[in-house]
């Protein structure tokens, strides 16, 4: 077996299941899960209809590159959303559909890392989406965790990284808006990182799967490709973005997203993926075309989250007092006691599951940025979120 498998950490939800084992919550209270970031708003009906209408396409093998029509609609969406001139993104060279960003985030490191280098390193935020770490480990690279703390607005402090560390870095994962903190990187910040990626020659993989869940309709979060094009980096050298329909369109089960950016890297990634074998099923591609074409359902979706944040933030203001994130659907809330004790007691007393912050982070330089934080995913319907906030208030 691959010896690197032993270095993989247990997944946060495996740890959570262990934490809850042996605890008996009150049966009169129905269970409320705020732990998993799985959207629960309704699947857009027109996407479902498109999926069903195209099931007959199962009789043919899909290509790794996906339908041209899918890449075309993705190209249009990207250019419109991030203010990129359409001639800069070639439908054939700059975009590959992927079977959800999780799969692509993982595969990218396997494709991109040169494990024969003297100190192959993958940088990633801390706390983080655990796939980044596992991808680095199985690609034979050393994870370099970048603490995201409140004093830095939960964004990695680039000034703390030495030239040698940048030289060793082959790939950096960033997540904007962040999971779990909801922090959004500014265009200036992204451009500073892009400058470093040009100077020290590393790849930026910008996980932007929460980019469409934000509060101010007139101020959507910026993205890496938009930032690159605004600074005149028209070939997007060393820049990749990953987007998903999972959160934007409430379609986590569809398994559909895309990676876009640097054509040279994507050519190699395409080669890798012909072996990796994660082409999107034809009906999934047709349904994805429908989903990327429509914005009305995304605007509605944002409104549902906005309503929940407004109510829950107000209800918890005198107790847990969480801060409104820049974007996304998580609350990253500070706890007065140890985060796993908080989660265990809240489950035992109020039958609510939240994720302890330390399950999403590692101790680095004497700091564990997840310590005494919990992550609350406001994915359940409004009434359930309100009920959860009530119970948390009673608990506190």
Can you give the binding site for ligand PLP, defined by CB under 6 A? 37, 100-102, 129, 175, 179, 207, 209, 244, 246, 252, 257
In angstroms, give the least distance from the CB of 75 to ligand PLP. Answer: 19
Provide the minimum distance between the beta carbon of 348 and ligand PLP in the complex, in angstroms, as a whole number. 26
**CB 330 → ligand PLP: shortest distance, Å?**
9
* Residue 362 CA: distances (Å) to CA of 129, 153, 156, 194: 12, 18, 14, 26
Nearer to ligand PLP, 101 or 372 (CB): 101
Q: How far is CA 323 from CA 150, 183, 317, in A?
A: 11, 11, 9
210-245 CB burial, b ≥16 within 10 A, e <16: bbbbbeeeeebbbbbbbbbbbbebeebbbbbbbbbb
From the CB of 41, what's the least distance to ligand PLP, in Å?
15
Please provide residue 261's backbone torsions phi and psi, each rounded to the nearest 5 degrees: 140, -135
Give the nearer residue to ligand PLP in terms of CB position, either 97 or 322.
97
Q: What letters, b where the CB count within 10 A reaches 16 and e where it falls short, cover 256-289?
A: bbbbbbbbebbeebbeebeebeebbbbbbbbbbb
Phi, psi for 167 (deg, rounded to 5): -65, -35
202 with 172: CB under 8 angstroms? yes
Q: Which is nearer to ligand PLP, 231 or 278 (CB)?
A: 278
Q: Which is nearer to ligand PLP, 308 or 375 (CB)?
A: 375
Least separation, in Å, of the C-beta of 118 and ligand PLP? 30
| C-alpha span between 242 and 259 (Å, rounded) | 5
Residue with Cβ nearer ligand PLP (179 or 358): 179
Angle between helices 12-20 and 339-350 (to 10 degrees): 50
CB 138, min distance to ligand PLP, A: 17
Alpha-carbon distance of 152 to 283, in angstroms, equals 44
Specify the residue, 221 or 351, whose C-beta has the smaller distance to ligand PLP: 221
d(CA 391, CA 30): 11
* Nearer residue to ligand PLP within complex by CB, 67 or 129: 129
If the CB atoms of residues 176 and 351 are measured against ligand PLP, the closer one turns out to be: 176
Least distance (Å) from ligand PLP to the CB of residue 235?
Answer: 26
- Taking the C-alpha atoms of 244, 325, 228 and 268 in order, what is their torsion angle to the nearest 10 degrees? -30
Residue placing its CB nearer to ligand PLP in the complex, 38 or 387: 38
Q: Which residue, 112 or 379, has its beta carbon nearer to ligand PLP?
A: 379
Cα angle 256, 49, 255; round to 5: 15
Cis amide leading into 180 (omega within 30): yes
Distance in Å, CB of 59 to ligand PLP, minimum: 27
CB of 281 to ligand PLP, least distance (A): 15
Q: Could you tell me if 91 and 65 are in contact, meaning their C-beta atoms sit under 8 angstroms apart?
A: no
Q: What is the dihedral of CA 362, 368, 371, 377, to 10 degrees?
A: -50
The distance of closest approach from Cβ of residue 179 to ligand PLP in the complex, given in angstroms and rounded to an integer, is 4
């Amino acid at each position: 077996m691959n010896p690197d498998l032993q270095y993989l950490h247990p997944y946060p939800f495996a740890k959570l299941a262990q934490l809850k084992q042996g605890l008996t919550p009150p049966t009169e209270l129905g269970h409320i899960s705020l732990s998993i970031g799985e959207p629960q708003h309704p699947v857009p009906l027109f996407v479902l209809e498109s999926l069903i209408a195209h099931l007959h396409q199962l009789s043919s093998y899909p290509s790794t590159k996906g339908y041209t029509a899918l890449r075309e609609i993705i190209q249009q969406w990207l250019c419109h959303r991030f203010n990129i001139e359409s001639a800069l993104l070639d439908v054939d060279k700059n975009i590959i559909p992927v079977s959800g960003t999780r799969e692509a985030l993982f595969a990218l490191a396997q494709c991109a890392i040169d494990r024969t280098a003297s100190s192959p390193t993958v940088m990633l935020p801390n706390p983080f989406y655990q796939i980044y770490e596992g991808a680095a480990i199985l690609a034979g690279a050393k994870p370099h965790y970048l603490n995201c703390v409140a004093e830095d607005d939960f964004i990695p402090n680039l000034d703390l990284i030495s030239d040698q560390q940048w030289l060793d870095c082959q790939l950096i994962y960033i997540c904007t808006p962040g999971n779990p903190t909801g922090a959004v990187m500014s265009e200036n910040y992204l451009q500073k990182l892009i400058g470093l990626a040009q100077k020290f020659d590393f790849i930026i993989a910008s996980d932007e799967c929460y980019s469409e869940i934000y509060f101010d309709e007139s101020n959507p979060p910026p993205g890496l490709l938009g930032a690159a094009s605004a600074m005149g980096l028209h070939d997007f050298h060393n820049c990749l973005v990953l987007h998903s329909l999972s959160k934007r369109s409430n379609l986590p089960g569809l398994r559909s997203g895309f990676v876009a950016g640097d054509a040279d890297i994507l050519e190699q990634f395409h080669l890798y993926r012909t072996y990796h074998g994660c082409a999107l099923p034809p009906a999934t591609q047709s349904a994805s075309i429908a989903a990327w074409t429509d914005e009305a359902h995304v605007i509605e979706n944002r409104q549902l989250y906005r309503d929940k944040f407004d109510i829950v933030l107000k209800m918890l203001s005198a107790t847990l007092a969480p801060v409104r994130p820049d974007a996304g659907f998580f609350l990253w809330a500070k706890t007065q006691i140890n985060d796993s004790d908080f989660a265990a007691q809240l489950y035992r007393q109020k039958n609510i599951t939240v994720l302890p912050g330390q399950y999403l982070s590692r101790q680095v330089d004497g700091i564990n940025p997840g310590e005494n934080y919990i992550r609350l995913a406001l994915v359940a319907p409004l009434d359930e979120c309100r009920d959860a906030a009530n119970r948390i208030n009673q608990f506190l």
